């Protein structure tokens, strides 16, 4: 009897799943297919083809895919190789608390698929639950003063290291990374800063005092460790995270994923200081062979006069973790990270770590998330970049390193004298 098993059937999205098929004929060729429907009804699909061993078994932990959406030994390949049925669609979890993503796994005889008989019933199937929040994590809507966001607290009495989570140009409130961080033991504030509730849709300035209020709000919470908080930021959020690290003594650990070392778009303002945005070169926007916009060349930071726009990163007292996808087609993030590190070095600072991933694109997300190499954003067809397999490896490695970095710099040394 053919059986398809997956362990665990219900798990957090950053946890691996062990998938096996048994009861096949020796050396039978089979196709594993995965599908997922997002909260808007968009479908995502993946498939991989395998040969059973002499015992009629396929164990994805050890067996190599021979074809389909990836090749080689990749136990979680069916998850990170999911592709949208509708092109330029990004998989984003919105309701993290109440419903998981459901992934349908089906096992087919490969010969039936090759002969266009896939309409026949699968040999076996099952449904997996992929959660963005662990049992016991609580979500608190934040509307304190002008702050808008959602605070996620791990189960238990605490206290916990505090983290502010910042996304980029999409605006609104994205919660899936903060909910996962809380599931891993961090008190995480998913912070909106434009285009959400009563926040301006198109702000004319970035007021850093708003983010200072967020840091103080987190530090006042009885379940949060002091004296410092961490920041996890990506894309447009990086320019804010970097500025927070420079200007706010409360920020002691900053994760910077594929961003710039200068403000862009609009000025940043903090207590009388104004950081002017770096001027962009529109003539350097390029278009890929598929008609996708590539923006990574528009900031020429090596030109004369460019240094006046760069953040004085050497003034930061905390630590930096720069995470770079070398295949980023939106921001020349490796160059910007190396430039910031060069400034730190020239001032005798070694408070930084750089993780640079060949083949990874712009949207480095938690492990096993599908690569989104392009999507519609603000009516633009943006090329985010990345190759499926190296991008997946970057997500898995960087997620562990982010947590290690935050714990190292945010959890007080309990052995030190009080």
**Catalytic positions:** 235, 328, 362
Half-sphere exposure of 395 (CA within 13 A, CB side): 29
Q: Report the distance separating Cα 78 and Cα 96, nearest Å.
A: 22
Half-sphere exposure of 348 (CA within 13 A, CB side): 0
Give, rounded to a whole angstrom, the gap between the first and last alpha carbons of the chain: 63
CA-based R_g, the chain, Å: 23
Q: Report the distance separating Cα 360 and Cα 129, nearest Å.
A: 27
**Do 246 and 315 touch, CB atoms closer than 8 A?**
yes
Kindly report the backbone phi and psi dihedral angles of residue 311, in degrees, each rounded to the nearest multiple of 5, phi listed first. -65, 140
Q: How far is CA 179 from the centre of its chain?
A: 12
């Amino acid at each position: 009897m053919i059986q398809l098993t997956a362990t665990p059937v219900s798990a957090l999205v950053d946890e691996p799943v062990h998938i096996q098929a048994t009861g096949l004929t020796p050396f039978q060729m089979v196709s594993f297919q995965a599908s997922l429907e997002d909260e808007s009804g968009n479908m995502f699909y993946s498939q991989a083809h395998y040969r059973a061993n002499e015992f009629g078994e396929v164990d994805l932990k050890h067996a190599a895919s021979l074809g389909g959406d990836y090749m080689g030994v990749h136990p979680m390949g069916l998850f990170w190789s999911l592709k949208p049925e509708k092109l330029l669609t990004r998989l984003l979890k919105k309701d993290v608390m109440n419903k998981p993503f459901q992934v349908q796994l089906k096992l087919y005889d490969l010969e039936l698929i090759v002969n266009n008989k896939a309409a026949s019933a699968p040999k076996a199937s099952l449904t997996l639950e992929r959660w963005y929040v662990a049992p016991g994590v609580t979500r608190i809507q934040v509307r304190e003063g002008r702050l808008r966001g959602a605070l996620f607290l791990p189960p238990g009495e605490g206290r916990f290291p505090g983290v502010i989570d910042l996304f980029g140009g999409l605006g609104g409130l994205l919660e899936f990374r903060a909910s996962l961080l809380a599931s891993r033991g961090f008190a995480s504030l998913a912070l909106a800063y434009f285009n959400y509730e009563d926040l301006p849709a198109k702000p004319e300035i970035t007021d850093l005092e708003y983010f200072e209020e967020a840091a103080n709000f987190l530090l006042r919470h009885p379940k949060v460790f002091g004296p410092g908080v961490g920041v996890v930021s990506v894309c447009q959020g990086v320019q804010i995270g970097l500025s927070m690290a420079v200007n706010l003594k409360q920020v002691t650990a900053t994760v910077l994923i594929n961003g710039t070392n200068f403000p862009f778009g609009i000025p940043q303002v903090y207590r009388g200081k104004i950081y002017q945005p770096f001027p962009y070169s529109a003539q350097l926007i390029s278009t890929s062979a598929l008609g996708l916009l590539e923006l990574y060349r528009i900031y020429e930071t090596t030109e004369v006069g460019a240094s006046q726009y760069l953040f004085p990163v050497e003034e930061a007292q905390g630590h930096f973790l720069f995470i770079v996808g070398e295949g980023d087609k939106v921001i020349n993030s490796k160059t910007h990270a190396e430039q910031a590190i060069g400034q730190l070095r020239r001032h005798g600072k070694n408070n930084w770590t750089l993780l640079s991933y060949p083949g990874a694109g712009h949207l480095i997300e938690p492990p096993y998330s599908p690569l989104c190499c392009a999507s519609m954003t603000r009516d633009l067809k943006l090329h985010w970049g990345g190759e499926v397999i190296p991008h997946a490896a970057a997500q898995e490695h960087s997620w562990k390193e982010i947590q290690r970095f935050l714990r190292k710099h945010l959890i007080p040394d309990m052995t030190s004298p009080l």
